[in-house]
């Protein structure tokens, strides 16, 4: 599945799209604040990630645990539950996501799925704001590809934690105001996911263990928990 941020269709160059951010479920599910950078009604809607960057598109990967048609008798609308090492993604696809819908209908849990899509927020009856994904493209992947994504998502998460206040100070300040913390908790999440790879089975053998160990040492030196236990978020 292509992940390029520019395309050519019928000889015409389509403008570059937003980069799809690698985000773990734990962070995406907390990213409940959205904003635009202009008043244009067609302007893209961004999530303010707790680690301090904005995201209009994301790249996620995990294990499919459930596929359910929650639509009507005459219109399919699939809800797909995808689990990564840190939590759960919810993916919804209907008639306007025709190609993704066709692929999702063929999934047999517990296959590994990659999703590139746009995050959307919605409010439940009790006022809770949840985050789901509208897929642009999906694909079945093998365990080695899934493990490589975990490593890359951890690397990108640690980079955002370490640099967002310098590279995107306005979004970082907005995220801190909205969520009540600076996002450093998600470095614990990244370290936990990396440790899971090392503690897992032979399916992680394609990854560079030395590189993972170096990343863990870097996280540990900054005081992040790398003992393999799922981190608990501090109170805001």
Residue 235 reports pLDDT greater than 90: no
Examine residue 104 and state whether it is found in any structural domain, yes or no: no
Examine residue 83 and state whether it is found in any structural domain, yes or no: no
Using 50, 70 and 90 to split pLDDT, how confident is the model at 233? low
Report the pLDDT value the prediction gives residue 214, as an integer from 0 to 100: 66
Report the pLDDT value the prediction gives residue 9, as an integer from 0 to 100: 33
Examine residue 168 and state whether it is found in any structural domain, yes or no: yes
Examine residue 125 and state whether it is found in any structural domain, yes or no: yes
User: Could you read off the pLDDT of 160-196 as tens digits, one per residue?
Assistant: 998 988 999 999 999 999 999 988 889 888 988 888 8
Cβ(191)–Cβ(226) under 8 Å?
yes
Which among 179, 22, 25, 189 is positioned nearest to 91, based on CA atoms? 25
Which range marks the domain in which residue 26 is found? 21-61+113-199
Examine residue 37 and state whether it is found in any structural domain, yes or no: yes
Residue 98 reports pLDDT greater than 60: yes
User: Could you read off the pLDDT of 196-213 as tens digits, one per residue?
Assistant: 877 764 344 344 555 556
Beta strands in 70-128 (DSSP E): 78-84, 87-93, 112-123
Cβ(111)–Cβ(129) under 8 Å?
no
Cis peptide bond upstream of 110, omega within 30: yes
Percent of the chain with pLDDT over 90: 61
Say if strands 54-55 and 46-48 run parallel, antiparallel, or are unpaired.
antiparallel
State the average pLDDT for the chain.
Answer: 83
Number of domains forming the structure of the chain: 1
Residue bearing the bigger pLDDT, 232 or 199: 199
Would the pTM of this model clear 0.85, i.e. be above it?
A: no
Using 50, 70 and 90 to split pLDDT, how confident is the model at 18? confident
Tokens standing for residue 105: 């209908």
Examine residue 154 and state whether it is found in any structural domain, yes or no: yes
Mean pLDDT of 28-39: 95
Report the pLDDT value the prediction gives residue 87, as an integer from 0 to 100: 92
Residue 6 reports pLDDT greater than 50: no
Of 79-83, 115-119, 135-139, 207-211, the one with minimum mean pLDDT is 207-211
Examine residue 78 and state whether it is found in any structural domain, yes or no: no
Examine residue 2 and state whether it is found in any structural domain, yes or no: no
């Amino acid at each position: 599945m292509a992940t390029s941020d520019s395309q050519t269709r019928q000889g015409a160059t389509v403008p570059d799209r937003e980069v799809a951010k690698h985000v773990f479920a734990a962070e995406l599910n907390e990213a409940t604040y959205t904003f635009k950078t202009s008043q244009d009604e067609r302007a893209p809607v961004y999530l303010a990630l707790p680690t301090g960057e904005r995201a209009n598109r994301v790249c996620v990967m995990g294990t499919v645990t459930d596929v359910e048609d929650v639509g009507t008798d005459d219109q399919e609308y699939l809800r797909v539950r995808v689990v990564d090492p840190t939590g759960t993604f919810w993916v919804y696809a209907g008639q306007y996501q025709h190609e993704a819908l066709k692929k999702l209908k063929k999934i047999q849990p517990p296959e590994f799925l990659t999703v590139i899509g746009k995050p959307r927020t919605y409010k439940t009856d009790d006022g809770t704001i949840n985050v789901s994904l509208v897929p642009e493209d999906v694909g079945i992947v093998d365990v080695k590809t899934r493990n490589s994504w975990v490593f890359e998502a951890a690397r990108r998460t640690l980079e955002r934690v370490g640099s967002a206040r310098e590279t995107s100070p306005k979004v970082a300040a907005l995220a801190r105001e909205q969520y009540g913390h600076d996002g450093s908790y998600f470095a614990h999440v990244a370290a936990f996911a990396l440790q899971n790879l090392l503690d897992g089975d032979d399916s992680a053998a394609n990854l560079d263990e030395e590189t993972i160990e170096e990343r863990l040492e870097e996280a540990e030196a900054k005081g992040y928990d790398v003992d393999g236990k799922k981190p608990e978020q501090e109170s805001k």
